[in-house]
């Protein structure tokens, strides 16, 4: 495995992503807009849960960050489907880069974008929405990183399963809303219907938000996020294994 080749593919794919920044801008600006509308609702619900003095940002900032990270699955998907649409996929495969080098070089830019997007949202939360990080920043970073790892695994599964960009786009939107909504990213879990609260743990967003709330609202450290981190990493392994079993370098994908 050559770090130089991975770095070359990484830089190249970052350029491709940045050369058409529309999707990145949307998944970064939209949550900021929604935070403005939803902060009051977040404050009311958190106060009803006993978190007096909460600004509401403790719910809406991680909620929107996780929801729009789920929408970020499209970044990696597009990166693969564009290669097929542009006729460059076979060129890349015929190059000296090995399959693992190609995969790593392609996965890292979308992962970086999800991370940067999350950092921007938390920074905006602190500056504009009175977000107070009461717990450990290291624990917060651990939650953000493991959530990103899971999303990259999920992205690869989506790339493996779908054959057209339309399928991928539709599935990403539906999945993001279902997993995000069920996990408490839109409205806090306490106001969801009983049945939704019961099945919420099947959503990775649930565990992600559980860890983030533990840090932001309860002042938790690494100890407080061990369970969600462990579950997200376990889920990442399962999803990555599924993706690996279905993904074929020789599969045809259509940019339609």
Partner 1 sequence: MLRIRNLEKSYASHDVLRGVDLDISPGEIVALLGPNGAGKTTLASIVAGLRRPDSGSIRVGDIDVVRNAGRARTLLGLAPQHLGIYPTLTARQNLLLFGRIAGVSGRGLRDRIDEVSTGLALSDLLDRKAGILSGGQQRRLHTAMAMLHRPRLLLLDEPTVGADVESRRQILAFVRDLAARGTAVCYATHYLPEVDDLDATVAVLNGGRIVYRGSVSSLARAHGTSGVRLAFRGDPPDLAGFETDGSHAFRTVDQPGVEIARTLADGTAWVSRLESVEIIRPSLETAYLALTVPTTTETEEQTHVA
Site for partner 1, rule CB under 8 A: 4-5, 8-9, 12, 15-16, 19-20, 86-91, 93-98, 250
In sequence order, the 6+-apart residues with CB closer than 8 A to the CB of 15 are none
CB of 173 to partner 1, least distance (A): 23
DSSP H or E run through 67: helix 57-71
| In the block, residue with structure tokens 């990555």 | 240
Which of 49, 106, 32 has its CA nearest to residue 75? Answer: 106
| Backbone φ, ψ for residue 251 (5° rounding) | -65, 145
Between residues 78 and 151, which has the closer beta carbon with respect to partner 1?
Answer: 78
Between residues 13 and 118, which has the closer beta carbon with respect to partner 1?
Answer: 13
CB of 74 to partner 1, least distance (A): 16
Between residues 68 and 89, which has the closer beta carbon with respect to partner 1?
Answer: 89
**CB neighbour burial string for 102-139, b if at least 16 within 10 angstroms, e if fewer:** bbbbbbbbbbbbbbebbeebbebbeeebebebebbeeb
CB of 25 to partner 1, least distance (A): 15
CB of 166 to partner 1, least distance (A): 20
CB of 108 to partner 1, least distance (A): 15
Between residues 12 and 30, which has the closer beta carbon with respect to partner 1?
Answer: 12
CB of 158 to partner 1, least distance (A): 22
Between residues 138 and 256, which has the closer beta carbon with respect to partner 1?
Answer: 256
Distance in angstroms (rounded) separating the CA atoms of residues 99 and 205: 30
How large is the angle between the packed helices 222-246 and 137-161, nearest 10 degrees? 10
Between residues 58 and 83, which has the closer beta carbon with respect to partner 1?
Answer: 83
CB of 161 to partner 1, least distance (A): 22
- Would you state the structure tokens that stand for residue 110, as one six-digit string? 């979308």
**CB neighbour burial string for 219-237, b if at least 16 within 10 angstroms, e if fewer:** ebbeebbeebbebbeebbe
Distance in angstroms (rounded) separating the CA atoms of residues 152 and 101: 16
Between residues 1 and 127, which has the closer beta carbon with respect to partner 1?
Answer: 1
Distance in angstroms (rounded) separating the CA atoms of residues 117 and 72: 9
């Amino acid at each position: 495995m050559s770090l130089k080749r991975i770095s070359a593919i990484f830089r190249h794919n970052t350029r491709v992503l940045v050369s058409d920044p529309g999707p990145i801008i949307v998944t970064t600006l939209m949550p900021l807009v929604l935070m403005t509308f939803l902060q009051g609702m977040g404050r009311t619900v958190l106060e009803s849960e006993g978190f007096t003095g909460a600004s509401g940002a403790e719910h809406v900032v991680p909620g929107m960050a996780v929801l729009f990270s789920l929408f970020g699955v499209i970044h990696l998907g597009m990166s693969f489907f564009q290669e097929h649409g542009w006729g460059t996929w076979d060129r890349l495969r015929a190059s000296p880069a090995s399959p693992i080098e190609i995969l790593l070089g392609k996965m890292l830019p979308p992962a970086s974008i999800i991370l940067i997007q999350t950092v921007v949202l938390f920074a905006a939360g602190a500056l504009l929405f009175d977000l107070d990080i009461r717990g450990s920043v290291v624990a917060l970073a651990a939650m953000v990183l493991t959530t990103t790892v899971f999303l990259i695994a999920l992205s690869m599964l989506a790339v493996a399963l779908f054959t057209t960009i339309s399928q991928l786009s539709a599935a990403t939107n539906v999945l993001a809303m279902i997993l995000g909504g069920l996990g408490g990213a839109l409205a806090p879990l306490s106001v969801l219907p009983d049945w939704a609260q019961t099945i919420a743990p099947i959503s990775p967003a649930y565990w992600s938000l559980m860890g983030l709330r533990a840090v932001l609202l309860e002042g938790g450290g690494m100890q407080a996020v061990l369970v969600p981190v462990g579950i997200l990493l376990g889920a990442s392994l399962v999803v990555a294994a599924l993706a690996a079993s279905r993904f074929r370098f020789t599969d045809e994908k259509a940019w339609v």
